[in-house]
Amino acid sequence: MTSNESIPAIFAKRITEILEADSTVIGLTVGGSWLANEIDEFSDLDLILVTKEKISGNADKMKAYASGFGKLLSAFTGEHIGDPRVLICLYDEPLLHVDIKFLTIEEFGKRVESPVILLDKGGELRKIIDSTEAKFPRPDFQWIEDRFWIWIHYALLKIGRGEYFESFDFFGSLRSIVLGPLLHMKSNSKPRGVRKLEFISADEDIKMLKATLPAYDRESLLSALNASVSLYRKLRLDLYGDNITFRTEAEERVMKYFDEISAR
């Protein structure tokens, strides 16, 4: 199935046709998987709707707009991803996940990628894309190193106490914030958590990442934590430059505590 035949593409075409008659709309763009022509039956749709007047900040207005695009089952704003301008939508007929970011023309230039233009009534969106640069946020290596060993110590406390559910949450966060983005950078890919690592990372790296997935028992959790440390150390050597200060004293002390907990 190509992007031209996919459900997200058909939905985007329908929205574009609806918005052409809307005098309050400046334009519509699409990003995400669409940019790499990777739309398939499992893809969602990432839209940016640019309007003359500000709509974001008013959830009721955002939902009212979205309800005009199809059978809207449910929707909520994106505070959990740090951007309340995004409305996360679930449509039916067909069932489809759609993220709609509501922007004004003044907000459009600051972006993490250069989207595909679906509608650009006055040519303003094209002018902005051509005259500005997309900047995808990259991991701050020093920020990670300053925190990593404190996080490992925290995990040891939880495992040591027997808080295994809390420990499970820790591993997911560590992969999303540290290991996944670093693996993406190693593969010259945008550091989007653990998204699509299965398709781009080397087999050895995937094997090491899989070792960070624990079972619900103490021994497995400690083994996964040790695997997390090993993968981080490997990626640190692969990616960090001489300008990064390793927190060696914290590392040594935390790993000594690791041995103490493991021996109990």
Structure-token pair, residue 163 = 């808080």
1 has pLDDT over 60 = no
Q: Does 224 lie in the same domain as 124?
A: no
Domain boundary among the residues 82, 103, 131 is at 131
Task: Please check whether residues 57 and 127 belong to one and the same domain.
Answer: yes
The pLDDT confidence band at residue 92, using thresholds 50, 70 and 90, is: very high
Whether the full predicted model's pTM is greater than 0.85, yes or no, is no
Same domain, 228 and 163: yes
Residue 3: what pLDDT?
43
Q: What percent of the chain has pLDDT over 70?
A: 98
Residue 71's domain comprises: 7-131
Query: Do 109 and 196 share a structural domain?
Result: no
The answer to whether the beta carbons of residues 33 and 39 sit under 8 Å apart is yes
My answer on whether 145 and 127 are in the same domain is no
- One-letter-per-residue 3-state SS of the chain: CCCCCCHHHHHHHHHHHHHCCCCCEEEEEEEHHHHHCCCCCCCCEEEEEEECCCCCCCHHHHHHHHHCCCEEEEEEEEHHHCEEEEEEEEEECCCEEEEEEEEEHHHHCCCCCCCEEEEECCCHHHHHHHHCCCCCCCCCHHHHHHHHHHHHHHHHHHHHHCCHHHHHHHHHHHHHHHHHHHHHHHCCCCCCCCCCHHHHCCHHHHHHHHCCCCCCCHHHHHHHHHHHHHHHHHHHHHHCCCCCCCCHHHHHHHHHHHHHHHHC
Same domain, 252 and 149: yes
User: What CATH number is associated with residue 171?
Assistant: 1.20.120.330
Give the tens place of pLDDT for each residue, 25-66. Answer: 999 999 988 887 878 888 899 999 999 999 999 999 999 999
Based on the fold, state whether residues 231 and 117 are members of the same structural domain.
no
Q: What whole-number distance in Å separates Cα of residue 179 and Cα of residue 236?
A: 10
Asked if 200 and 125 sit in the same domain, the reply is no
* Residue 235 domain-assigned (yes or no): yes
Does residue 2 lie in a domain region?
Answer: no
Q: What is the number of domains present in the chain?
A: 2
Same domain, 145 and 124: no
Q: What is the pLDDT of residues 199-238, one digit of tens each?
A: 999 999 999 999 999 999 999 999 999 999 999 999 999 9
CA distances (Å), origin 163, targets 211, 216, 229, 255 = 20, 10, 20, 20
Residue 1 lies in a domain: no
Q: For residues 119 and 16, is the Cβ–Cβ distance under 8 A? A: yes
CATH code where residue 71 lies: 3.30.460.10
> At CB < 8 A and 24+ separation, what contacts does 254-261 make?
254/149, 254/152, 254/153, 254/156, 255/229, 257/153, 257/156, 258/152, 258/156, 258/222, 258/225, 258/226, 258/229, 261/156, 261/159, 261/160, 261/222
Residue 53 shares a structural domain with residue 152: no
Residue 153 lies in a domain: yes
pLDDT over 70 at 2, yes or no: no
Q: Is residue 136 part of a domain?
A: no
- Residues 154-209 have pLDDT tens digits of 999 999 999 999 999 999 999 999 999 999 999 999 898 999 999 999 999 999 99
- Which domain-ending residue is among 131, 155, 170? 131
**Is residue 165 included in any domain, yes or no?**
yes
CA distance 211 to 220: 10
Instruction: Kindly state whether residues 123 and 165 are assigned to the same domain.
Output: no
Domain boundary (131, 149, 173) is at: 131
Do residues 88 and 158 share a domain? no
